[in-house]
Amino acid sequence: MGRFWWARLPVGASRCGMSLCGWARVACAGLAGFASALLAEDAPKPPQALFTVPLSVVVGEPVKVRARGLRLEGMTEVRSMTPGVTTMLLSQGKVGLPNGVPAEKAGDTQVEFELRFAGDLPSPPPIEAALLLVAPHGEMPLSIPLLASDRGLVEVEPNPGFDKAQAVSLPAGAPLSIIGAIERPQDVDVFHIAAEAGGRLRVSIAAHSLGSLLDPLLTLHDSKGALIATADDDEGSRDPQLDVTLSRKGPICLVVQDANDGGGEAHPYLVTVESSAPVEPAAAVEPVAAVSFVSDIAPILQRHCVACHGAEKAEGEWRADSFAALLEAGATGADGFLAGNRGASEVFGRITSTDVDLRMPLHGEPLSNPEVDAIARWIDAGLPFDGVAADTPLIDQISPPIHPAAPATYATLPPVTALAFTPSGDLLVGGWREVLLIDPASGGVRRRIGNLPERSSRIAIHPAGDRFAVAGGVPGRLGEVRIFTLQGDLLRVLAPGSDIVHDVAWSPEGDRLAVASSDATVRILDAERGRLVRTLPGHRDWVLAVAWSPDGTRIATGSRDRTAKVFDVATGALLASYARHDAPVRGVIFHPSGEEILSASDAQKWDRWKIADAAHLRDTHLGGEVFQLVSAGEYFAAPSANGKAHLFRLEDTEKVREYAPGTAARVISVAVNVPADLVAAGTQDGRVVVWKLSTAERLAEFPLQP
């Protein structure tokens, strides 16, 4: 019945004898009801809680809880309806929203309160604490799951890697819940569990289903980091679960992370772990393992020491690039490492020093406690060596990590950060933990090449066209270059480090690689043997781009320190430094003459300048940050934040044409194949678009999805 039902009533006397005044009274009553309905619609909406941080609480000590949601400001009371549980309101008000997330999903207000538990609370405790959020504009019930102290564990930071994993003890025959959060983008939480051979381990996570912004990814690894199992989205849910039978006894690591590298205060989770056999923390059931030089010590030294104490740069006249070199004395005359004697080992004194001018690595992050402990135990054990030969470089002693498998499909489309055409015209695209070999005409995936870190920064095809190098890593945790055949066979892992590798380039002959890294250096590596040929220092921040001269005698670099530089490959001498960009330099290429450089930056332009005196010749503005310069035959291309890929002639640097995907998304990568007459561009929002090089005719468009 319509709201204005009263308007359809007769105005005269009715068959039931009601007078006109009676109908008037009915009509007035109807008007009053209508007015009340209108007032109800205009009344303030009640508060709405979307989720809490943490998602659950362990009964015992007082716990602070934040409820995020809508209209939670002005909260006057958080009232407990559960006996033995009391509350205290701490604060309420507006909170910021994660970038790009609407208030209806993340909540733009929050209320913080403390839960307290009476000493006579029954055991086991109630399943949940029933609360009532009270505000002048309304009330809302809220429930928080409660866990007994032997059934719940709170995540403790830092636990971002296998060497810093938090030990977990599983109660016999009962599940254990881990309460945690992915606190920042690219964070991972790692938990160390001892395993019984033949036992069954079940791991499930609740996050997205409880309102959290976390898109969970679960992985299990053995003690050497090898992948045991992985789970992304479950059927009908973004909250996955793992159910595995363990093949052997020993410690395993459970890794929790966001599938899209997200993180922040709105990313809590609740993991439940259950084993069919009782297990204890690894440290409680196993004696301290013997220290392996190859597995434990060499990776630490390679990550933290070799850049400054290698064959080309031996600061303090001491080298750390092989086991034999470690045992030699440096300029001070003291032993770097002395078997069984930490105090007389100069390196140990340096890595544990509290004096920032003495502590190693100089100007870098100090070694973690587990890393220091491993070196201490290695010294105490007498410096045991289990490698190939004492003078073999560390890089050839270390087994490369095995990366988690890529998910069957991507929950969200990753940015297309790396593209390259094969000689036949197929397209290599950097995906999530893999490179996809794609038919550019249809977008169909011909091959998935895995065993790669989370992100691929650059893909470089070998001059012979039979292999390719992938630069990438995990920001703040890992950097490396992997070389594959076009069939997907892994040939070699190079340049391991503790932060992402941004660019890689083959020499014209294909025998060397130049690697641009976050440690402010470029390393020249023997591509076949992996040996370091030379390190090129000189930048003060990340090196984002690298290129070889046509004759292979010079290398150009671009850095976040806002400079582009040119180095002599044979001597490592700095030949030129160009500082006119006033923004991070993300692309460099040589002019065909070999005497000029083109460098592009976040200043929305590329510059052409002379090497001899770093003299500016011309510049071209593109209307947005320039993310890369790609040389291909007689052309070069530049992807830009203005949503276009631009093509120029290399000889006279005049513009030929541009290619526009047709949306506002930033174009962040580009590839060109002149013989196949193809151009491809990758966008920030996860799409690949392919055109004819000669006409800009659009041939295909597809999402980056396996």
State the CATH number of the domain containing residue 73. Answer: 2.60.40.10
- Report how many domains make up the chain: 5
| Encoded tokens for 123 | 């055991």
| pLDDT given at position 169 | 86
88 shares its domain with 212: no
In a shared domain, residues 143 and 162: no
Largest pairwise CA distance in the chain = 119
The verdict on 273 and 362 lying in the same domain is no
Last residue of a domain, one of 255, 285, 315: 285
* Residue position matching structure tokens 């000493």: 119
Last residue of a domain, one of 229, 260, 285: 285
Phi and psi torsions of 307, nearest 5°: -55, -35
Q: What is the pLDDT of residue 17?
A: 37
**22 and 53 housed in the same domain:** no
Q: How far apart are CA 553 and CA 617, in angstroms?
A: 23
Tell whether 59 and 17 lie within a shared domain.
no
With b for 16 or more beta-carbon neighbours within 10 A and e for fewer, the 332-355 pattern comes to eeebbbbeeebeebbbbebbbeee
The stretches in the chain having pLDDT less than 50 are: 1-41, 278-288
Whether 344 and 310 share a structural domain = yes
659 within a domain of the structure (yes/no): yes
In a domain, 465, yes or no: yes
Quote the tokens at residue 89.
Answer: 């309101």
Residue 412 lies in a domain: no
404 inside domain: no
Say how far residue 67 (Cα) sits from the centre of its chain.
Answer: 27
CA 16-17-21 angle, to 5 degrees, is 120
Residues 166-221 have pLDDT tens digits of 999 888 778 899 999 998 887 889 998 887 777 788 899 999 889 999 999 898 88
Picking from 285, 303, 322, the residue at the C-terminal end of a domain is 285
> What is the phi/psi pair of residue 24, to 5°?
-65, -40
CA distance 515 to 159: 30
Specify whether 308 is located in the same domain as 437. Answer: no
At residue 229, the pLDDT reads 83
609 and 529, same domain (yes or no)? yes
Asked if residue 405 belongs to a domain, the reply is: no
Q: Are residues 195 and 243 in the same domain?
A: yes
28 and 64 both lie in a single domain: no
Residues in the chain: 706
Decide if 190 is inside a domain: yes
Domain that holds residue 346: 293-397
Instruction: Give CA–CA dist 460/466, Å, rounded.
Output: 11
Same domain, 652 and 692: yes
- 413 falls within a domain: no
Phi then psi dihedrals of residue 406, to 5 deg: -70, 150
Distances (CA, A) of 702 to 439, 483, 685, 686: 11, 26, 11, 9
Same domain, 574 and 611: yes
281 by DSSP, 3-state: which?
A: coil
CA gap 47, 72 in Å, rounded: 5
Quote the pLDDT of residue 282: 46
Q: What is the per-residue burial (b if ≥16 Cβ within 10 Å, else e) of 250-265? A: bbbbbbbbbbbbbbbb
Residue 300 in any domain: the answer is yes
Residue type, 490: L
Beta-carbon contacts of residue 29 (< 8 Å; ≥ 6 apart): none
